Chains A and B, each alone.
Chain A
Amino acid sequence: MNQDVLVWCLVVVAVIAVAAVAVLSIRNRAVEAKKQHSETVLTARLNEAEGRLSNVSAELQRRQAEQQVTIRAAEEAAEESTKAVLKGAARFLQSLAAEQMVLLEDVQRKYGGHPVLADLMEVNHANAQMARRAHGIAVMCGAPLGRRTRAASVYDVVRNAQGQIRNFRRVQIMQQSGFALKASAVSPVAHAVAEILDNAASFSQQDAPIEVTFQRVQKNLCIVIDDAGVGMNDEDRQHASALLSGSVQPRLSELGTQPKFGFPVVGRIAAQYGFRVDVTGVSRYGGVRAVVLLPEELWTEEEITAPVAEAPRMSAVRDTDDETPDRPRGGDRTVSGLPKRGGRQRRDVAAPVRDAAEPPARPAAVDRGSGRSLGAFQRGTLSGRNLDPSPSEGSEDS
């Protein structure tokens, strides 16, 4: 009896348990299905959102790229238009400065005997510095330098460069070379050297010398410029080298409010005319050694201007090359030992140096030596009587 009850109880419990399990599993399955459904829905939504996101970001990138292009184009357009304006102005200044230099030269020769000459030379110095600035701006704007049509000794080219900086007295050209620059190289090399000299002068003490020497290294002619300044650190040196090689070409807007035209201009000129400038050396004063390396296309060895003879063998050159007819020892002299005046043949030899525009009437006049001397004598006495300061000896065809 008890056993039956027990059995029935167990049966009931088992039935209940089975029922409970059945109910639970059914519910479980329903929950599972629901979960799967919601998961698929969510995944779909997620995918959709992701797709939209990538679309949007692609769009954003495209827009950004477009914007970059537009900005660059606008910047370039601004740079170009600034350059165009500046270029016009700089060219104007260039030609004015050149014109003024010619005028000043004429005035200096006209008033050569007057005390005002010293002031005129000061004015000319200021003008030469202004001309350098104008040329620098022009080069930065893509305009050409003014050009020269005559070859010149490298010594004179450096002297021209010297005249373009403020403290030109500090520049010492240590030797006179037997090298000449071809006409096309005269102006660019002079400008490049002027910028380097200016740089050397501004980064060294007021009275420190700047020495210029010439050296021939294989096929290159080197103009070596040593300053006694503070030198450059590695960073400066790298930056300078990049500018001078032309690999970095800063924009006008990057030059700052106190624009540093020097090295960018030198870099451009050097690249344009095919020479190199190196400032990585150290001078013997511990400052910067700048070297302008001129390839053989730009220079020749022949002597262009008669008076610029090579220093160490000066006397030999004088006697042979120059053929100075009025200087033979003891030959062409008066009884009292004074040099004879003669027909100025010597000027005919040396004249091409400075006076290009001289009337070509000379050669015919040479033979009329005595007539010319008389004329000169008359002019001399006349000017001696008047003694007015205006027409100087250097002005007319003296």
Chain B
Amino acid sequence: MTDEQEPEPEAELELTAPLVPLFVVTGGRGLPPSHEYERTTLVSAKQDAAADARTLSPEAREVMNLVADGFLSVAEVAGHTHLPLGVVRILLAELADGDLVLARKPVPPAEQADKELLSAVLDGLKTRFGA
């Protein structure tokens, strides 16, 4: 009944690919438009989302759990779930369709801190404290 009882002891094929392929995790959905759910977009679960989360797939639920209590960036969600970024984006888009998560646009580049200024500060600190 088990594999050991096969009549021919030929080299057995071992399937090492993950059991659940990614396209099943995403349900075959396509990627959301590139300006939605960027790496730095912040996502959070909606307040009353927990009740609806029961029918979700394990992966989608893991995402929901991660964003349940506050905003987390899409990239961080991907890192925590160990899923490729694109898959997480698809899952988030699906969750947003189901009205389960909120997305907050990332801070526009213009408002971000001046990189040159920061590196100048870093250089200053390095010379001051001798890093």
Question: Known contacts A273-B1, A333-B69: does B23 contact A121 (CB below 8 Å)?
Answer: yes
B23 near A125 with CB under 8 A, answer yes
> Are A338's CB and B71's CB within 8 A?
yes
Residues in B neighbouring A24, C-beta threshold 8 A: none
Q: CB of B83 within 8 A of chain A?
A: yes
Judge whether B28 and A147 touch: CB under 8 Å: no
Interface-located stretch among A57-65, A157-165, A216-224: A157-165
A169 at the interface (CB under 8 A from B): yes
Query: How far does the Cβ of B16 sit from chain A's closest Cβ, in whole Å?
Result: 6
Contact B84 A109 (CB under 8 A): yes
Tell me if B131 is interfacial: C-beta within 8 Å of chain A. no
Contact of B12 among A108, A147, A307 (CB under 8 A): A147
The stretch that binds B, out of A25-33, A39-47, A339-347, A360-368, is: A339-347
CB within 8 Å for A314 and B21 given contacts A147-B15, A333-B70: no
Interface assignment of B49: CB less than 8 Å from any CB of chain A: no
Cα distance A95–B22 when bound, in Å?
20
Distance to closest chain B CB from A381 (angstroms): 9
Bound: A152/B15 CA distance, A: 13
Name A344's closest neighbour in chain B (CB-CB).
B80
Q: Check if B54 sits within 8 Å of A168, measured CB to CB.
A: no
- Binary interface encoding of chain B residues 21-37 relative to chain A, with 1 for a CB under 8 A from any of its CBs, else 0: 11110111011001000
How far apart sit A204 and B80, CA to CA, in the bound complex (Å)? 40
Residues on B with C-beta less than 8 A from A318 are 65
The verdict on A168 contacting B24 (CB below 8 Å), with A147-B12, A307-B62, A338-B70 known, is yes
Q: How far is the CA of A98 from the CA of B27 in the complex (A)?
A: 21
B110 in contact (CB, < 8 A): no
| B residues near A187, Cβ cutoff 8 Å | 15
Q: Which of B13, B58, B86 contacts A113 (CB 8 A)?
A: B86
CA distance A160 to B15 in the complex (A): 12
**In A337-396, which residues have CB < 8 Å from any B CB?**
337-339, 341, 344, 346-347, 350-351, 354-356, 376, 380, 383-385, 392-395
* A297 to chain B: closest residue by CB: B1
Interface presence of A144 (CB below 8 A):
yes
Residue of B nearest to A312 (CB): B54
Question: Please, which residues of chain B bring their CB within 8 A of the CB of A162?
Answer: 24
CA distance A318 to B17 in the complex (A): 27
With contacts A152-B19, A274-B1, A393-B79 taken as known, whether A113 is within 8 angstroms of B84 at the C-beta atoms is yes
Given that A118-B86, A327-B68 are known contacts, is A169 also in contact with B28, CB under 8 Å in the complex? yes
A338 to chain B, nearest CB (A): 5
Q: In the complex, what residues of A have CB within 8 A of residue B62's CB?
A: 307, 350
Residue pair A339, B70 in contact (C-beta under 8 Å):
yes
Q: State how many angstroms separate the Cβ of B4 from the closest Cβ of chain A.
A: 9
Instruction: Report the count of interface residues on A (CB-CB < 8 A).
Output: 86
Nearest Cβ distance between residue B122 and chain A, in whole angstroms? 11
- Cross-chain contact A394 with B31 (CB below 8 angstroms): no
B82 located at the interface, meaning its Cβ lies under 8 Å from any Cβ of chain A in the complex: yes
A184 in contact with B27 given A380-B75, A394-B78 (CB within 8 Å): no
Give the B-binding residues of A (Cβ under 8 A). 91, 94-95, 98, 101-102, 104-105, 108-109, 111-115, 117-118, 121-122, 124-125, 128, 142-150, 152, 155-157, 159-160, 162-163, 168-169, 176, 184, 186-187, 190, 272-274, 297, 305, 307-309, 311-312, 314-315, 318, 324, 327, 329-330, 333, 337-339, 341, 344, 346-347, 350-351, 354-356, 376, 380, 383-385, 392-395, 398
Residue pairs across A and B with Cβ atoms less than 8 A apart, 27 shown, are A98-B14, A98-B16, A101-B21, A102-B16, A105-B22, A108-B84, A112-B87, A113-B39, A117-B84, A121-B26, A146-B14, A155-B58, A156-B19, A163-B21, A169-B27, A187-B15, A273-B1, A307-B62, A311-B54, A314-B54, A314-B61, A315-B50, A329-B69, A350-B62, A376-B79, A393-B84, A394-B83
B residues with a Cβ closer than 8 A to A are 1-3, 6-7, 10, 12-24, 26-28, 30-31, 34, 39-40, 50, 53-55, 58-59, 61-62, 65-66, 68-72, 75-76, 78-80, 82-88, 115
